[in-house]
Amino acid sequence: MKRIIPLIVIVALAGAVPALAQQSGWIGVSIADQPDRGVLVRSIEPNSPAEKAGLKANDVILQFARQDVVGAMQLTRLVSETPVGRTIDVTVRRDNREQTLKVTTEKAPFTVGGIRMQHPELSELGDRIQHSIPRIDVITSAQTQQGIRADSMTPQLREFFGVKTTNGVLVASVDAASPAEKAGVKAGDVIIAVDGMNIANPSDFQHAMTARNGTASLKLIRDKQERELRIDRQ
């Protein structure tokens, strides 16, 4: 049976508001809502403030700056409202024990839809987006077992990437040596359809990639031009 990885909320985007007078802080974690108190840490970015402070994947964040954490959206806001360079208390539950860690926020590497624009082949793209889009709101993300992390899009992003419909998910990253990389999928592609089915959001994409076995046909936009790739679903 294929494993379906749940949607997550990306806090590593530092609130995705890069041009305010007070720069938003960044801690470098990906989180997910859960039924119980707090939010679950899915992953930690290497060399991020969270990693330096000792946060780990599968920690549950209970408090941020002494405020109770009730959900991923709220924690995203709390992180975005914290200035760069401020040290705050983060209380986590790990192995059924609570502990408080001190996290110092940093300036985020510029991102759009989760893409880290420090990557050499994307640096020019990052500069163009930074000057073209004053505010980017990217919330949901899905990871497929073919090695694609796909993020939701905003109208501004659709316009920037040349997507003329309301469909599409942005490829935020492609795992090395994955079926996606072998098929030629690249970060910055916008996938608009799978096997002829329109893709409106990460949930649609995740479902399409797990709905059946065999090879999938991806319709995507790259450099504002449509193209098709075929990828092994495994």
User: Residues 181-184: contacts with CB within 8 Å, 24+ apart?
Assistant: 181/147, 182/232, 183/218, 183/229, 183/230, 183/231, 183/232, 184/229
CA neighbor of 233 nearest in space, from 198, 192, 185: 185
- What is the rounded CA–CA span in Å between residue 158 and residue 126? 15
Q: Are 175 and 150 in contact (CB under 8 A)?
A: no
Residue 31 placed within a domain: yes
Residue 122 placed within a domain: no
CATH code of the domain in which 169 resides: 2.30.42.10
Residue 129 placed within a domain: no
pTM of the entire structure? 0.50
Q: DSSP label at 219?
A: E
Domain's final residue, options 104, 129, 152: 104
Residue 110 placed within a domain: no
Domain's final residue, options 45, 76, 104: 104
Do both 99 and 146 map to the same domain? no
φ/ψ bin of 127: left (φ > 0), alpha (ψ from -120 to 50), beta (otherwise): alpha
- Written as one letter, the residue type at 183 is A
Domains: count for the chain: 2
Residue 12, domain extent: 8-104
**Which residues, including other chains, have CB under 8 Å from residue 154's CB and lie 6 or more apart?**
136, 137, 138
Q: What is the pLDDT of residue 128?
A: 52
Residue 149 placed within a domain: yes
Do both 152 and 224 map to the same domain? yes
Q: DSSP label at 121?
A: G
Q: Are 106 and 51 in contact (CB under 8 A)?
A: no
Residue 186 C-alpha from the chain's centroid = 15
Residue 227 placed within a domain: yes
How many helices (H) and strands (E) the chain has is answered by 6, 16
Do both 97 and 151 map to the same domain? no
Beta bridge mates, 51: none
Residue 212 placed within a domain: yes
φ/ψ bin of 168: left (φ > 0), alpha (ψ from -120 to 50), beta (otherwise): left
Q: Are 41 and 69 in contact (CB under 8 A)?
A: no
CA neighbor of 14 nearest in space, from 110, 86, 91: 110
Per-residue pLDDT tens digits of the chain, which is 234 residues long = 334 334 444 444 344 333 334 567 889 888 877 778 888 888 888 888 999 999 998 999 999 999 999 888 788 888 888 888 999 999 999 999 999 999 999 887 655 444 443 333 444 454 455 444 444 343 467 788 898 988 888 787 888 888 988 899 988 888 888 999 999 999 889 999 999 999 998 888 988 998 888 999 999 999 899 999 999 987
Sign of the C-alpha dihedral, residues 205, 113, 135, 11? positive
Do both 13 and 71 map to the same domain? yes
Do both 159 and 225 map to the same domain? yes
190 membership: H or E segment, kind and range:
strand 190-194
